[in-house]
Structure 1
Amino acid sequence: MTFEFWHWLALGFALLVLEMFLPTEFILLWVGAAAIVVGGVSWLAPTLDWTLAFVLWGVLSVAAVLAWRKLKPLSFVSERPTLNRRGESYVGRVFTLDEPIVNGVGKLRVDDSHWRVSGPECATGDTVCVVAADGATLRIEKLA
């Protein structure tokens, strides 16, 4: 049984491609990288026995995965958690209505856009506070 260096390279790149399509939390990335390293070693040492190559691949794979688990951040906490949730970024802000709220639904101009709002009946010019965002609808409360 003979494994050439290009077999290892093909296996490594195949694992890297699989990583893109499967939710493996970067496991296949490191196993594929280990296969590519073994391919490089096999190219530099063409007489490398295939059993030794498999052992090297296993050791490198386990070491890489364990190192990743140890070194990766425990959580990805953002400094700006509402960056891509625009509606939620308006919670707590106070606005003046340009249009009345009728039957619990109306429109509110926020910066350079108009938002659908839901809340109590309010007249034009009333001051309101955004209390929640529900998709593309802002829920508001009337301020005194």
Structure 2
Amino acid sequence: MLYWHWLALGMALLMAELFMASFFVFWFGLGALLVGAVVWLDPNLDPALQLLGWSVSSGLMTLLWFRYLRPLMKDRTQAGNARAAVIGEAGRVLRPPHGDKRGRVRFTTPLLGDDEWEFICDGPVATGDRVYVKDFSGNTLIVEKRD
């Protein structure tokens, strides 16, 4: 195979990765580009060595990605996980619940884009009490007062 065959294969595999969400074919495309560069430097390289080089380089790059590099790039933010971001946050009661009306609590830092929320509580609370988010139901927080 000539060097440009490997380059064409590498580019085709890289373009195929655009249509796949696996990030797996990418490494085989890079391996083909690497072999294309080696064959460009040494055009008389045996085709069996070319295939071996492609297999080994693709396999090593895939292994390095999935084993070592990908775990370092995991998203450790709470984005998309509203429940975990809200549970345990503390706020002050502005208006306690009364009858069928829900109470109102204010947080020092906004929770999910707002610093004031309606809430319900199992126990009695008064204006100014510190409450903690236990759960939420729709647009209403379920809070508890801790002593």
Please report the TM-score for the alignment, with normalisation by the length of structure 2.
0.64
> What are the ranges of 5 or more consecutive residues in structure 1 without an aligned counterpart?
none
1:97-133 CA-partner distances (Å, limit 9, x unpaired): 2234464745432225335444237554343211135
Partner of 1:119, secondary structure, is strand
The residue aligned with 1:19 is 17
User: Among residues 75, 97, 103, which one is paired with 2:93 in the alignment?
Assistant: 97
In structure 2, what residue type is equivalent to 1:8? W
Corresponding residue for 1:35?
A: 32
Counterpart in 1 of 2:131? Answer: 128
Counterpart-to-counterpart distance in 1, 2:61 and 2:87: 43
User: How many aligned residue pairs are there?
Assistant: 139
Cα contact 2:106–2:117 (8 A) shared by 1? no
For residue 105 of structure 2, give the secondary structure of its aligned residue in structure 1.
Answer: strand
Conserved 8 A contact 2:133-2:141: yes
**Matched residues in 2 for 1:38 and 1:77: separation?**
30
Q: Pairwise mapping of residues 9-88 of structure 1 onto structure 2 (< 5 A)?
A: 9-24=7-22, 26-72=23-69, 83-84=78-79, 85=81, 88=84
1:49-81 Cα offsets, whole Å, 9 max, x none, are 444422321222223333445534767777xx5
Return 29-38 or 57-66, whichever deviates more. 57-66
Alignment of 1:3-14 (within 5 A): 3-14=1-12
Larger displacement relative to structure 2 (51-60 or 134-143): 134-143
RMSD: 3.6
Q: Greater share of strand residues, 1 or 2?
A: 2
SS at match of 1:138: strand
